[in-house]
Amino acid sequence: MRDILDTLAREYAGLYAQIRVTLVEASVVARQAHADVLAAHQSRHVRSTDTLPSRIDGCIIANELLDAMPAHRVTQTAAGLVETLVDVADDRLVLRTGPLTTTSLAAYLDAAGTAAASLRPGQSIDISLDARAWVESAAASLRRGALLVIDYGDTREGLLRRPQGTLMAFREHRLANAADGPTTWLSEPGDWDLTTHVDWTMIAATAQAKGLQVDPLVEQTTFLFSLGLADRLPPMGDTSLTAVKRRLSASTLVSPQGLGASHQALVARLGI
């Protein structure tokens, strides 16, 4: 948000003078840091809160938010669908399977003609009902404006082609050792970021059901170039250190082998 406000103040003074920023953050510690980080924009920073405002005229930006929402891991077995659950045994966290904890999971798999039976034996899928609930809440709050979601994910069809699901554990930009399975992050709870891929089919359908007009999903590369990223970069003939750093930073965001293809952008609009 500081980067956004820096740019608005420098290049779009009219918009900057009118903008009002609310930061939504679950962490108390992080909220306490907001005032210092946005000190240069104190007049534009209205508040920090842990819930979305009830009425929003403007833009809701969710950048790598939905992948961090809690998810249910559902697996197909010979006896039907089961859910992977975290339990305690001998004073340590372990995984076990049990019945589905909510009927919403089976309903999710049955949505859009995708029957639960289409999962192959042993196949797992990660379902974030919390992500769907957040989109419903955001759409309900939006009176006029746009919802911009940037994240890494796949369509429902694409997710169903992944036999092991998409659950990943990261720490310091490093994936948990696959050979260790879940033992590493289970034995060190709170020290790893657990993420799952966003189901873009569900996100788009949820926004549409709430009355928003959803634009086609695009890769981050297409999204940024369509907004004029190329025009904002220094010319290749400029070999100054600042110019080279700017071009390298941009290439990180649009590289087809990196964030440019792994991340997608979805825009849902109301009244604009």
- Element containing residue 37 per DSSP (H, E): helix 28-37
Residue type at position 47: R
Q: What is the H or E stretch that residue 243 is in?
A: helix 241-254
Run of H or E residues at 147: strand 142-154
- pTM of the shown model: 0.90
Supply the pLDDT for residue 144. 97
Handedness of CA 269, 63, 37, 253 (dihedral sign): negative
Bridge partners of 175, per DSSP, are: 170
Q: Is the dihedral of CA 223, 226, 229, 232 positive or negative?
A: negative
Residue 156, Cβ neighbours under 10 Å: how many? 18
| pLDDT the model gives residue 112 | 47
DSSP 8-state class, residue 212: P
What domains are there in the chain, each with its CATH number?
1-51 (no CATH), 58-270 (3.40.50.12710)
Instruction: Please name the residues in contact with 271: beta carbons below 8 A apart, sequence gap of 6 or more.
Output: 143, 144, 145
User: Residue 182: what pLDDT?
Assistant: 60
Provide block-wise average pLDDT over 10 residues at a time, the chain (272 residues): 96 96 95 96 95 95 95 92 93 92 88 62 93 96 97 91 88 69 76 92 96 96 93 90 90 85 95 94
> In the prediction, which pLDDT does 37 show?
96
